[in-house]
Amino acid sequence: MPNPQIIKDEKTYQALRREGASKEKAARIANDAGGSRRATGRKGGKAGAYEGRTKDDLYREARKIGIEGRSGMSKDQLISALRNR
Both 38 and 64 in one domain: the answer is no
Both 26 and 55 in one domain: the answer is no
CB atoms within 10 A of CB 16: 21
Q: Considering its fold, how many domains does the chain have in total?
A: 2
* pLDDT reported for residue 47: 60
Domain that holds residue 14: 4-42
Both 36 and 54 in one domain: the answer is no
* pLDDT reported for residue 35: 57
CB atoms within 10 A of CB 81: 18
Mean pLDDT of 42-58: 78
Mean pLDDT of 30-38: 65
Mean pLDDT of 33-53: 65
pLDDT in tens, 67-81: 999 999 999 999 999
pTM exceeding 0.85? no
Indicate the angle between helix axes 55-65 and 75-83, nearest 10 degrees. 40
Taken as a whole, the chain contains a residue count of: 85
- 79's enclosing H/E stretch is helix 75-83
pLDDT in tens, 7-20: 888 888 898 889 88
Q: Is the pLDDT of residue 33 over 60?
A: no
